[in-house]
Amino acid sequence: MNRRKKETVTLRERKLPGGKRSLYLDIYSDGKRRYEYLKLYLVPEETRADKAANRQTLSLAESIRAQRVVKAQAEAFGVKESQDNEALLHAYLERIIARKEGTTKTSWENCRAHLMRYHPDPELRLAEIDRKWVQGFRDYLDQEASIWSIDDRKHKVNARPLSEGTKALMFQKLCSLLNTAVKEGLLERNPSMAVERFREPESDREFLTIEEMRQLAKVPAPDEAIGRAFFFSCLTGLRWSDIVALRWSSVQTVGGVPRIVFTQQKTGGREYLDITEQAVSLMGERGEDDRLVFPDLGAVQSARIKVAAWVKAAGIRKHITFHCARHSFAVMMLELGTDLYTLSKLMGHRSIETTQIYAKILDKTKQAAVARIPEIL
């Protein structure tokens, strides 16, 4: 008779310089030991806020530990993760996070933390989630959820409510998870559809004018690959996440016109984007279909630093990030007379309301131009 694999999962702490303690899982399986660091930390308890933060952190860590135990027990008995209405929320979320990268992955991990604080039970089934449950999560984000920041110098914990933008982002992640579950046949319908979304606050969207793009093009980029990718975004409107994932198999020619056929990393929508020969030239010599078009971009954090230095060297006094290239494309297209509906399709927006933000930016630009008219009479 086969012996069942023995596995234990223990939550442990490790002291760090400065007084903080790092939480990790000590996983012993089939005679072997491994460690999983949770990126969760306890702080010296000097105030009530310290104690409250540690309680929440420990609760979250224990939820993760319990989830690992359930998974281990299922594997020990030969039970595979269900693909039907028995699928578990937290296990399903882990699968989604495993497919993400960069800043997108970080957002999903933050959503996981809030979902575990709201409902830490690792055995919650997707099929149990209804409108009332989703409304409860929205209320939690709106009224209870906090961001805990640690002052390493004073070992203090500061709690502040989520910003409106963060509330909207965290709730959107849950809605996206449920949408994906519907597409994969795990749910018949999305229970979040009947729950009001958070209204995302309008923010200033910095961009480069056409003249500023020309000005920037005269200055060598600190990283040649980043420079080509940035201008490629300026000419196509593609996000960083779509550019780093772009493969030559997605670059086609239809009726003599170069076109990119791809799936948006952010929305999952299938897009068909015609591009100019100028944009094609930025991609370089065509490679094998399975090769990346821009293979040497590195991390987005590094790209932000390089773009900021490049813009400064060009004498442009704006806070420009890589994502501002997408904004620059949108404003440029409106200045060239593109209507909002067409721009919405070019940007891959699901709602024209999102595209209208750029029309407001253009209005402000026109107003500023008019305001510079000198007194004549």
Please, which residues have CB within 8 angstroms of residue 89's CB and are 6 or more apart in sequence? 115, 119, 124, 125, 126, 129
Q: What is the mean pLDDT of residues 32-61?
A: 80
Q: What is the mean pLDDT of residues 201-225?
A: 88
Grade residue 154 by pLDDT with cuts at 50, 70 and 90.
very low
Domains of the chain: 8-194 (no CATH), 210-371 (1.10.443.10)
Spatial separation of the C-alpha atoms in residues 177 and 174, rounded to whole Å: 5
Grade residue 363 by pLDDT with cuts at 50, 70 and 90.
confident
Spatial separation of the C-alpha atoms in residues 159 and 148, rounded to whole Å: 5
Name which residue leads in pLDDT, 171 or 355.
Answer: 171
Given CA atoms 323, 328, 334, 336 in this order, what sign does their dihedral have? negative
Share of the chain above pLDDT 90, in %: 41
The verdict on pTM exceeding 0.75 is no
Task: Give residue 17's pLDDT.
Answer: 79
Instruction: Say if residue 184 is exposed, middle or buried (CB neighbours under 10 Å; 0-12, 13-18, 19+).
Output: exposed
Which neighbouring-strand residues pair with 125? 88
Tell me what the pLDDT averaged over the chain comes to: 84
Task: Give residue 360's pLDDT.
Answer: 80
Q: Is the pLDDT of residue 201 over 80?
A: no
> Is residue 343 within 8 Å of 330, Cβ to Cβ?
yes
Q: State pLDDT tens for residues 49-105.
A: 678 778 877 877 787 787 777 666 666 655 444 444 468 999 899 888 887 765 677
Task: Give residue 71's pLDDT.
Answer: 67
What angle is formed at CA 252 by the lines to CA 250 and CA 253, rounded to 5 degrees?
A: 165
Spatial separation of the C-alpha atoms in residues 89 and 268, rounded to whole Å: 20
Q: Is the pLDDT of residue 149 over 60?
A: no
Q: How do beta strands 32-42 and 21-29 pair?
A: antiparallel
